[in-house]
Chain A
Amino acid sequence: MTIRRTWIGLTYIVFTLLLIIPLIEIFTGSWADGWSGFAEGLTRKQSIHALQMTASIVVVVTAINTVFGVMLALYLVRAEWMGARLKRLLNSIVDLPFAVSPVIGGLMIVLLLGPNTVIGAFFEDAGFKVVYALPGMILASLFVTFPLMVREVLPVLQEIGAQQEEAASTLGAYSWYTFWKVTWPSIRWGVIYGVVLTVARTLGEFGAVLVVSGNIMNKTQTATTLVYQDVENFNVVEANGVALVLAVFSVGLLLLMEWAKKRKEVH
């Protein structure tokens, strides 16, 4: 009995040390100079730019990841024209970003598409800068978040099976109609869950983006890399302010995620 209590107590202590105290610390840190300090930190040119940058990356990455993640999951589960071996290969490649460190992922993009490479030079000549610009940062975030949507949707598709879709086809419905009327209602909570995960991961991504962006203030700086730079420069209040914004979003997403998870289980 006492041993169990000790363990429970220990769990609470670890939980408090790792999660609650840092959150309180961020909160009080950002308010150390009162409202004006907090507001000033957030309305700096670089803060607004970084938050906008993060927001646009989140929007683009989530949109692309949702469409292609759902498509790939559909192909991996349903496509008959794809051989079993190809499916297995693709299935394991999907998980690659889980295994590879984001920094390495970013580095791969730089090595492949950087200004000194053939492809990178080609794009640069065409007036389209990839690395050290927004496209590269989107690519890096995509690389990191790609498995999230596929891994959410794929098991749901496997579980519901192909029979409802086959039934729709014998009733005269073609694939587009069948997807929206039959498949989508079954997978939508999985997709929403995947979206929440993707948004959360993109918001918080640091390593891959840092490598690819070069972290140029007011140009390629995101919220997370700005926090990093502020900390380096001892701008503690400003760093805490931006971090607080990110933390609030994360908590909101967490609540949304719990809600989506419950709905997912209903269906």
Chain B
Amino acid sequence: MHIEVRNLNKSFGDFHAVQDVSFEIEKGHLIGLLGPSGGGKTSILRMLAGLETPTSGDIIFHGKRVNDLPPQERGIGFVFQNYALFKHMTVYDNIAFGLKVKKQSKEQIRERVSTLVELTGLKGFEHRYVHQLSGGQRQRVAFARALAPEPQLLLLDEPFAAIDAKIRTELRTWLKEMIERVGITSIFVTHDQDEAIEVADEIMIIGKGRLEQKGTPWEIYKNPETPFVASFIGESTIVEDIKVLKGFDSALNYPGTKALIRPEYIEIGKPGEIRLQSATVNATVKALHFRGSEWMVELLVDNVKLITYRSLEKEVLQPGEQVSVLVHRAYLFNDTDSWIMENSLKVDPMPIHI
């Protein structure tokens, strides 16, 4: 289903939960609504479902305005954060609910439910009650139940929040595959950037009720349009005083400019180890943290803290050690503008003299 949202607003009393949000979603796409908790993501999702009424704005499915349609008639499937499974029903009856409402024949219902049970790998659990299932199984039931009446749009509210970390990654891949196989337009809400990046075709970043940016995960990572997006996606440290960074002097022409630096923008080495010596600054290793597959290194450059990662294969650094630091690029921003700048000293201006 093709979805269009125009100037959507939602207020709860004085609280402006969703402000002027507009977007379009192509048929068959899997969209992640990403943002901090309380940012209005769930409100947007609930308005799309018809569970919440917009204060103003239009919601258009397939070129038809659906604002005044109740949830029953919107042709959507909704997976709730805590699944909201019917506790007094078996897995079979949960999945069959939407079909019974449509007064389908017993034969049809049995066929559809068994297809979904097969698809979601719940075979053998049809006659269990909800409290006899694990978290992952419950999520599968919720998913199957939402898909049973063949909706045009699938909405998922924090689908992985209630599942423990280890199974979560497994379920993510499973869900992405499943949605691709069914080919249904889907929107899911999450506050976990890894989840959004891994699962979604496109991400919409929502902060304080506004749509900050929409794009593929790679686009958003590469070209964040606002400081909020830049700081929300990926890891980063903000450097208030950019004078300490070498190679970004031209940014000093814009007063009030700050830099956002990601760990992967930084290269560190023992003195002399980095080839472009002229572009490096000296730093002290403040602390080292083992992160399973690499070291996280905290650096101090003139009292400004930077964070980067270092391979376990390289020589182990010690706290207090002096190192050379090369900042490859920085995301710079001030009150009016934001841009990405490569380190200007990396391209050596006078290579012949060296």
Contacts and interface: CB of A to CB of B under 8 A. Distances in A.
A26 to B, nearest CB: 42
Given A163-B80, A166-B78, A172 B98 contact: yes
> Which of under 10, 10 to 19, 20 to 34, or 35 or more describes the interface residues of B?
20 to 34
A173 B87 contact: no
Interface string A158-175: 000001101111111110
Contacts of B76: 170
Nearest to B157: A163
A169 to B, nearest CB: 5
Given A163-B80, A185-B88, A168 B51 contact: no
Interface of B: 49-51, 70-74, 76-78, 80, 82, 84-88, 97-98, 101-102, 145-146, 148-149
Q: Which of B50, B70, B72 counts the most A-chain CB atoms under 10 A from its CB? A: B72
Contacts of A182: 86
A186 B149 contact: no
B101 A164 contact: no
Interface of A: 163-164, 166-174, 177, 181-182, 185-186, 267
A12 B49 CA distance: 60
A170 B146 contact: yes
B97 A168 contact: yes
Contact of A164 (B50, B77, B86, B102): B86
A173 B72 contact: yes
A192 to B, nearest CB: 15
A171 B80 contact: no
B231 to A, nearest CB: 33
Nearest to A177: B101
B84 A171 contact: no
A173 B97 contact: yes
Contacts of A171: 77, 97-98, 101, 145-146, 148-149
A172 B84 contact: no
Nearest to B74: A170
B82 to A, nearest CB: 7
A267 B88 contact: yes
B87 A169 contact: no
B334 to A, nearest CB: 43
Nearest to A167: B84
Nearest to B78: A170
Nearest to B77: A170
A163 B86 contact: no
A28 B76 CA distance: 69
A158 B145 CA distance: 24
Contacts of B98: 171-173
Q: Which of A172, A174, A267 counts the most B-chain CB atoms under 10 A from its CB? A: A172
Contacts of B70: 169
Nearest to A161: B84
B101 A167 contact: no
Given A164-B84, A186-B88, A170 B51 contact: yes
Nearest to A173: B101
A186 B85 CA distance: 12
B87 A267 contact: yes
The 8 tightest CB contacts between A and B, nearest first, are: A171-B98, A163-B84, A170-B78, A185-B88, A167-B84, A172-B101, A169-B71, A173-B101
A191 to B, nearest CB: 14
